Chain A
Amino acid sequence: MAGAHIAREAIDMGFESPVLVAPGRRDVSCLTEGPRQAEAVGAPLEAVRVRLLDLLGTLSRLLGEHATPLLEAARQQLEQRACRIAVIGQIKAGKSTFINALAERPGLLPTDINPWTVVVTALHLRNAATPPEHAAVFHLFSVDEWKELADGGGRLRELTERLVPGFQSDLLRAQLEVMRKRAEQRLGPRFAELLGRCHRFATVTPDILTDYVSAGDGTSRPCASGRRRHYSDITRSAELYFNESPFAFPITLIDTPGTNDPFLVRDEITRRSLENPDIYVFVVSALQPLSVGDIGMLRLLNGMHKDRIVVFINRIDQLPDPASDAAAVRATIEKRLRAEFPTLQIPVICGSARLANQRLDADKADGAMPHRARTTATHGMRLQALIERAPDDGAGDGRPRAGMPHASCGLREVSAAIGRLMCTSSIAMLLRQIAVCLAELVRTAEVSDRAELEAIDARLAARRLESTALRQRIEEEVASLAAFEEHASQLQASFRDVEAHFKALIASATELLHRQLGTLVREFAEREAGALRAALQERPRRPAWRCDVTPLRLELEAAYLAACEQTTSDLDRIEQFLYPQLKLIVKSLVPDYGGSLLEAPAWAEGLAPSVAALGDKVTMDLSTSWWSRWFAGRRAAEERARHLRYLIEEDFLKIAVELVGEAQAHMCERVEYVMRRVDAIGNGLSAGIERRRAGLTKEQALLDGAGEAHGLEAFEAEQEGRADACLRRQEAHAAALDELGGVLEALDTAQGERP
C-alpha cells in the first residue's frame, strides 16, 4: 500500500518523472479478457476507421508533401477521437455499477450505499497491442478553482442563492465548510500545496480509485491513520486508460456524480464538467423512475443531442415481481417520454447492472471458457437466463427454460442501442467527412496527373520535330504554367475573399441575433413587471399570480431558429454562387476536372444548431412555494416589479448570449468545412503546378546541358519514365477512390441499419 504512495509522491516532486509501478496492489487491468470478436459494439465504424487509416499510409506515399498536413490532421482525428458516452442520472441510480458492467470490469469503479462518486471519471477503452503509458491520471483542482469552490464563489453561490433564497445559501456555506475541514483533516493542513498537481499511476487498483473519486465516509480517516490519503475533495477529474475493450470502436465512458444531490457542491461539479459527449445513457432506478428532475434533464439533453439518448431502467431485480413489474414500469416510462418528447425515439431498456456484474464475476470464476467464445454464442443468452436461474441451479446451461419468466440484465440491449446510435453520431459524420476529403484530394491529384500526361504526350510529339521547336514548346509550357499558377493563386485569393465574406456575414447575423434576443427578453421582462404591478393593485396581500417563462422560451427559440435559418440560407446563396464560379475557374485551368468537390455540399438534417441553453434552469421555474416566499420577502409593489424584471433579465440575457454563441459556433463550423474542401482543391492544384514546374526545369536543364543528340535521348527517356509514373499513380488513385467509395458505402449501410 505504502509503496504506491511513495511512488506517487515521487511523481509529485517531478512532474514528468517516469512512472513507478505500485507494487503489492491488485491490478485491475490484468483481470480483463482478451480482444473481442467482430460483432462487438461499433464494429462497422471500427472497420471504416481501420480502412481509412490504412488508406492514409498509401495516400501519404502517393500524394507527396503538399498533402501531409491534411493527412496528418486526418490521422490524428482517426487515432485519437473516441466515441464519448456519458452515463448520467440522479444519485444512487446505479451509474458506476452500470459502467462496471458495460465495460465488463466488475468491481472497477467503487460503489456504495451512499452517494459515492464525486469526481467525473473517464474510462478510455480501446483495443491496442501496447498497454497505455499511464493507467490512471488524476487532475487535482488548481489553486484558483479550489478557491472559487471552497469560498462558494462564482456561479455556484449565485445559482443557489437565487434559486432558493435564504436557507440554501446557508446550507451551502455549511457544506463548503464541512468540505474544507474534511480536506484539511484528510490531507493535512498543508494540502493547498497539492493543488494544481496531476497524479499518474502505471496501474489502477480499486484502492487508488476510492482514494481519488469516492466521497469517503463522513467520519473520515485522518491522514495519520496510515499512509493512504483521500484526495477526492480536491480531485477535479479522473482519466483511466485500458488497452483491452469489449467495444470494437474506441470508447470513452464517462461516469458522473449523480444529480439531485443534497450535497450541492457535487451537483454543481457535475453540471460544470460535462463536455460534449456523443451519446448519453440516462440511468434511472426502476423503483422511482422518471421524476420531474429527470424529465428536466432529458429536456436539456433533447436540446443538445436530438436522439442520442438511451434510457436504462436499472435495479429491476429489486421490484417485487421483476418479470411483470419491469414491463409495466417500462410501458409507463415510454408513455411519459412519448408525451413529453413526441418527436423523439428514445430507446428504453430495463435491466439490472448489479446482476450483470454478478454474472461477469461468476464467468470470471469459471474461467474455463475463453471470452471470445462466450461473447459470441452465449453473451445474450446467459444474461437472459440470469433472473430465472435458481440459486441452486448448478448446470447453468444459460438457456431460458420453458414456463419460466423471461427477463434480462439489459446490458446487451444497451450495447446494441449504443452501437446503433454511434452509426449516426458525430463520430460517423467525422469518418464520412474524412473519407470525402480524402476522395477530393485524390481526385485533384488525378487531375494534375492527367494534365501532365497530356503535356508529356505533346512534348513527345514535338520531339519528332526539331529540338528548337521542342525548346519553344517547353517555353510555351512554362508560360502557360505561369498563367496557370497565376489563375490558381487568384483562385486561392478568391477563396480567402469568400471566407472573409462568410465571416462578415456571420458576424453581422450574430450581432443582429444578439440584439433581437435581448429585445425579446427586455420586452418580456417589462410586460411581466407590468402584469405584476396590475395584479398587486388588484390583490395587494397575496396576489394569485406567478410568472410563467414558457412563452419567453418559445419566443426565444422561434427567433433563434428563424435567425439561424435565415443565415443558413444566406450562406447557401453564397455557396450556390460560389461553386459555379469555382467550377468555371477550375474548368479553365483543368478542362476535365471530375471531382464532386465543386458541387455545393448537401447539409445533413441533424446539423441544426443546439437550443440547449433554453433548457437551463432559471429562477422562474420554481414551485409555488418559491413564489410564496418571494411574495413574502419584498414589500413595495414597485420594488417587486423591479426585482422581477431584474430576475428575468439576469436569467435570460445570459441564455440569449449562450444561444448567440451557439449559433456562431454552428455557422463557423459549417464555413470551416466548406473552406477545408476548397483548400483541398487549392492544395492539390498548387502541388500539381510545383511538380510540373520541377519537371520542366529538369527538361530544360537536360536540353541545355549535354550535347544536342544525347540530350534529346535523355530527355525522351525521362519523359517516358514520367509518363509511366503518371500511369502507375493513376492506377493507385483509382484503387484509392474505389476504397473510399467502399468506405462511404459501409457508412451508409451502418446508418441504414437503424430501425
Chain B
Amino acid sequence: MMRPVALVRADRTGCPFAAVAGDPPPRPGARPRAQRIVVIGEFNSGKTTLVNALLGTPVLPTSFTRHTAYPTVVGFAAKPWLRAELAGRRRVAVPWSCIDGAPAPHIRRLHVGMPLDRLKTLRATDTPGFGLGDEEDEARTLRACRGADTVIWCTPAMQAWKASELRTWLALPRAVRQRGVLAVTFMDLLPSKGDAGRLLARLAADAGPHFRRIVTFSSQGFLAAPAGELA
C-alpha cells in the first residue's frame, strides 16, 4: 500500500516535486527540464493554494467565493508579466486585475511569468474547478491536462473523495490518470491526528488504486496576496 507523503514538509526541503511525482532524483549533470504540473479538482478544493505552495510564495489569489476563472500557467520569467491566451494561441499582455476579475469569454488561458528560482525546474498550472456545472470550463481544464508530467487531483480532507470526483477522474484519458497524484488538502482542518490516519486509510483503499500516490497538504502559512502587489 502506498504511504502518503506530506507536501508541506517537502516544501521546506526545497524540492517538493520529486516527492509529488515520486520520480527518482535527476541525474547529476543532466540539464533539468521544467516539470509540468497541472492541478485539478472540484471547486474550492484548494487547488490555487496548492499551486502557491508549490511555488513557495502566494502568486495567485485564493478565495472561497470567487473561483479561478481560467487555466493559469505559471512559468519562469526574468520579471513578472501576465498574458492572456486568446483563440489561435495568440497571447496579449493584460493588466494584473485580470487574474482576479470577472471572467471574459474570449480568454482561453492565462500565462504568468515570475522570477522565482523554483520555476526554473517547474511549470505549474492552476485550473477552474469541476462541479460548478460549466462544461466549457471543464473542457478547458481537461485540455490543460494534456502534456502534463504530473496531474494532481485535489480533494478536501473534510469532504474527501466523493462519487462525483471519482466519476470525473475516471472520465479522464488513461494516459493522464497514469500520471495522477491525489493531494488531500486542508489537512489542518481535521480535528485530530487519529482522524487523519483513518481518513487516509479509507482513501488508500477507495481512491488509491486510481492514483500513483497520495499526498497530504496543509494550507497553513500560504495566504493569498492581492494581485496588484505582484506587479
Name A residues whose Cβ lies closer than 8 Å to a Cβ of B: 90-93, 112-114, 164, 167, 217-219, 260-264, 267, 285-289, 291-293, 295, 315, 318-320, 325, 328-329, 331-332, 623-626
Name B residues whose Cβ lies closer than 8 Å to a Cβ of A: 42-45, 64-65, 131-133, 135, 138-139, 156-167, 170-171, 186, 189-191, 195-196, 198-199, 201-202, 205-207
The reply to whether B198 and A112 form a contact with Cβ atoms under 8 Å apart is yes
A264 to B162, CA, bound (A): 10
A487 to B131, CA, bound (A): 68
The reply to whether A217 and B198 form a contact with Cβ atoms under 8 Å apart is yes
The reply to whether B132 and A287 form a contact with Cβ atoms under 8 Å apart is no
SS class, residues of chain A in contact with chain B: loop
The chain A residue with its CB closest to the CB of B223 is A320
**Residue numbers in B under 8 Å from A264 (CB-CB):** 163
CB<8 Å pairs between A and B, sample of 8:
A93-B159, A112-B198, A164-B167, A167-B170, A260-B162, A267-B163, A329-B65, A624-B135
A-B contacts besides A318-B158, A318-B186, 13 pairs, CB < 8 Å: A92-B159, A92-B160, A113-B191, A218-B201, A260-B164, A262-B162, A262-B163, A285-B158, A288-B159, A291-B164, A292-B133, A625-B171, A626-B171
CB distance from B69 to the nearest CB of A (A): 15
The residue that A262 contacts in the complex, of B44, B64, B161, B171, with Cβ under 8 A, is B161
**Residue numbers in A under 8 Å from B166 (CB-CB):** 262
The reply to whether B159 and A285 form a contact with Cβ atoms under 8 Å apart is yes
The reply to whether B162 and A114 form a contact with Cβ atoms under 8 Å apart is no
A457 to B77, CA, bound (A): 111
The chain B residue with its CB closest to the CB of A318 is B189
The reply to whether A287 and B195 form a contact with Cβ atoms under 8 Å apart is no
CB distance from B163 to the nearest CB of A (A): 5
Number of A-B contacts (CB under 8 A): 95
The reply to whether B190 and A113 form a contact with Cβ atoms under 8 Å apart is yes
**Residue numbers in A under 8 Å from B138 (CB-CB):** 623-624
A467 to B195, CA, bound (A): 97
**Residue numbers in A under 8 Å from B186 (CB-CB):** 287, 318
**Residue numbers in B under 8 Å from A320 (CB-CB):** 64
The reply to whether A291 and B131 form a contact with Cβ atoms under 8 Å apart is yes
A315 to B44, CA, bound (A): 14
The reply to whether A91 and B190 form a contact with Cβ atoms under 8 Å apart is no
A93 to B205, CA, bound (A): 21
**Residue numbers in A under 8 Å from B132 (CB-CB):** 291-292
**Residue numbers in B under 8 Å from A285 (CB-CB):** 158-159
**Residue numbers in A under 8 Å from B43 (CB-CB):** 288, 291
The chain B residue with its CB closest to the CB of A92 is B159
CB distance from B13 to the nearest CB of A (A): 26
The reply to whether A114 and B135 form a contact with Cβ atoms under 8 Å apart is no
The chain A residue with its CB closest to the CB of B67 is A332
CB distance from B118 to the nearest CB of A (A): 25
The chain B residue with its CB closest to the CB of A174 is B209
Task: State whether A319 and B131 are in contact (beta carbons under 8 Å apart), knowing that A114-B199, A291-B164 are contacts in the complex.
Answer: no
The reply to whether A113 and B139 form a contact with Cβ atoms under 8 Å apart is no
The chain A residue with its CB closest to the CB of B204 is A218
The chain B residue with its CB closest to the CB of A163 is B167
**Residue numbers in B under 8 Å from A288 (CB-CB):** 42-45, 131, 156, 159
**Residue numbers in B under 8 Å from A625 (CB-CB):** 171
**Residue numbers in A under 8 Å from B64 (CB-CB):** 286-287, 319-320, 325, 328-329
The chain A residue with its CB closest to the CB of B44 is A288
The reply to whether B131 and A292 form a contact with Cβ atoms under 8 Å apart is yes
**Residue numbers in B under 8 Å from A289 (CB-CB):** 44
The chain A residue with its CB closest to the CB of B165 is A262
The reply to whether B171 and A90 form a contact with Cβ atoms under 8 Å apart is no
A328 to B45, CA, bound (A): 17
User: Which of B139, B171, B186 counts the most chain A CB atoms within 10 A?
Assistant: B171
A332 to B186, CA, bound (A): 22
The reply to whether B162 and A332 form a contact with Cβ atoms under 8 Å apart is no
CB distance from B124 to the nearest CB of A (A): 22
CB distance from A260 to the nearest CB of B (A): 4
**Residue numbers in B under 8 Å from A624 (CB-CB):** 135, 138-139
